Chains A and B, each alone.
Chain A
Amino acid sequence: MKFKVALAGNPNSGKTTLFNCLTGSNLYVGNWPGVTVEKKEGDLKNTSEKITLVDLPGIYSLAPYSMDEIVSRNFLLEERPDLIINIIDASNIERNLYLTTQLMELDCPMVGALNMMDVVQKKGVEIDVDALEKLFGFPFVEISAQQETGIDDLIKMVGRIVKNDKKQEFPKIFPEQINEIFKEFENLLQNKFPNVLPDYPRIFRAVKLIEKDDEVLSKIDDCSILLEDIEKTRKKIEVFSGNDVDSAIADYRYRFITATINMATRKTKENTQQFQEQLDKVLMNRYAALPIFFLFMFIIYYVSITLVGQVTIGGITWFIKDVLIVNIAAGLGSIGAADWIIALINDGIITGVGAVLTFVPQLMALFFFISILEDSGYMARVAFIMDRIFRHFGLSGKSFIPMVVGLGCSVPGIMATRTLENERERKLTAVLTPFISCGAKMPIYILMASVFFTTNQTLLVFSLYLISLIVVFSSGFILSKTWFKGADSGYLLEIPPFRLPKIKNTLTQVWERIKEFLVRAGTIIFAASVVLWFLQNFTLGFQMVQSADESILATFGKVIAPIFVPLGFGNWMASVALLTGIAAKEMIISTLSVLTAGQAGGLTLAISQIFTPVSAYSFVIFILLASPCMAALATMRKELGNWRDFFFAVVYQLGLAYMISLIIYQVGSRIFI
């Protein structure tokens, strides 16, 4: 028998790290509210039972405010896991147990994983696990997902309870009188409305109906009579508690939690988190906060682009050009391979794939820094700093998080917009995130910078990121007043404590992202390089070309090239590169390499002939702002939820890219001739 176990808990509780510990698989981890945007599965390791573990998005409650919460709740209600592992950040136990009191109403066996016990011990707090078990009616295990302690105990516990048929007895959280009111309502439901959500857990159904939960009410066909009864019940609760229903229910939950914590935890020493406070004082300083943020970003790009680039690019290029290509040509030549095969392998595959691989060390450095930013807790602080600014542009500080993720790749960036509660802000952020340059676009900037702007490479790349920020803000301002008009949802964000990123997690993340990059290099880019080579070496009559101008590709490129003449890159090779870039942005550079392979002087010389400094800048601006790759487009379509918004977004992104490049080229070429 195969069991299904759900891992549920608050954002920032270390859920994904625990999931990795429990399954041994590598997943995306980050230290800000809402990293896990989709549920992920893995098999529980080190156990004789067959147990599938499902990682749910981090949620604060079972109320359906954001898509994350709806995803988690629907899973728990509809798929009915055999057990819930409730991960609790024990260093923030009071707020974390709030979700626990709601999960208990789902009528499903539970195990509590008290995470971050190392932090708790440092703070001088002791937790009495047996007392907690008595008070909550289900067992708890002390763990630290980061230090990997207590994991085996947790696995053993899960294996034991998942087989056990004996029902856990959860305590009553609400006062006796309130429970009476619930019971009365519950009886009424069964007698008067037997068809209302009969499969839902009893208490959950009663509480959610009384709360007038929109999701639950929307599942009932005609609830006008039921609503009358709900109102009567709400009156009773209001009279008893002296509060409105919403605050009464939340208040009773927290009262229960406060009472249990007082009984089950003990402070052994006074602790002040001086280091945290000092660090916060500096990083969030009134005057220094923004400069410090930009300094961080500048250092990140300086180290990954300039420093790492200086060390690695020369070596890799030498290896590909002078070692690999030369030896393959010699080796294949000696066994009598046809010239066109050697050309296909060298000029097509190795040149195309190699052009992308050259930048792997730089991307690794970039991903390394982004991952540290994410895990340290700095990101939530930047959202906090930025909220005031973002608000003026129709966004909230929370919109900043998807955008920073988008620095790595737009796909997870767009997916991270799901943590935004407000539909308007969510869609707007999803449309704006692709304007933030993703890692795959970076090689193009570096290449152009190394050809035309040798002395100011970092500065050039940095200017692109500044332009993308300006575009994000001005587009946010315009779109929030036109296409995506509406009320703002407000801002409420947990500020997690600073945490030293665990090196293993950081490396895992870097590897996950680089792996995706390498897989693409080995699949899409490999295949596309082969296809490109053929299209470039054969004429429409399927004859080997004499000069590159006669090829199928050139013929096609020349048809679309005129569109880009006003932008300064009406060359057919540049046009073809832009088209192939739709498949994956790395293809732009591979395409240029394949198309110019075999020419004397190589890619650099060829590029300096195709472009001028101004048209090169206009070209990278177009790449920066024009619609993203296919994968990101598909994600954007999914998150926007309809074709209308999607087409608008694509037209907007393309139109804006065209306009800005046009202005840059037309103005620039008159100034710098």
Chain B
Amino acid sequence: MFTLKDLKPGQKACVGSIAVEGLMRRKLMDMGVTPGVEIEVNKTAPFGDPIEVRLRGYALSLRKKDAANILMVQ
């Protein structure tokens, strides 16, 4: 069991389920973070948080706190 937060820059995996609550959950889905989508981690911000990921052909940034609630599968 690992989460999006555990991925290092350059690594990729598919979304298993999204355990984020409330508004952020729906926003994530609107932005294309849905079960099964492949996400690659691009980089971490200079101060260590947030992270930038690449999915569906574009770059999205989110906080580690939320990334820790996105469960991934290989």
Contact = CB atoms under 8 A, between A and B. Distances in A.
Contacts, number: 107
A385 B45 contact: yes
B46 A254 contact: no
A215 interface: no
A489 B63 CA distance: 11
Interface stretch (A459-467, A492-500, A546-554, A563-571): A492-500
B50 A388 contact: yes
Nearest to B49: A388
A125 to B, nearest CB: 10
Contacts of A91: 57
Interface in A71-98: 91-95, 98
Contacts of A495: 52, 59-61
Contacts of B32: 94-95, 98, 254
A159 B23 CA distance: 40
Contacts of B62: 491-493
A492 B61 contact: yes
| B interface, over-half SS | mixed
Contacts of B66: 490, 492
A284 B46 contact: yes
A243 B35 contact: yes
Nearest to A287: B46
A65 to B, nearest CB: 6
Nearest to B17: A247
B39 to A, nearest CB: 13
A384 interface: yes
B8 interface: no
B34 A250 contact: yes
B34 A388 contact: no
Nearest to B66: A490
B56 A492 contact: no
A492 B28 contact: yes
B26 A384 contact: no
B58 A494 contact: yes
Given A246-B26, A492-B61, A251 B36 contact: yes
Contacts of B30: 60-61, 63, 98, 250
9 contacts: A95-B56, A98-B30, A254-B32, A254-B56, A387-B45, A421-B23, A492-B61, A494-B59, A494-B61
Interface of A: 60-61, 63, 65, 91-95, 98, 243, 246-247, 250-251, 254, 280, 284-287, 289-290, 384-385, 387-389, 397, 421, 489-497
Q: Which 7 A-B pairs have the closest CB atoms?
A: A250-B29, A388-B47, A495-B59, A94-B56, A289-B46, A61-B30, A251-B34
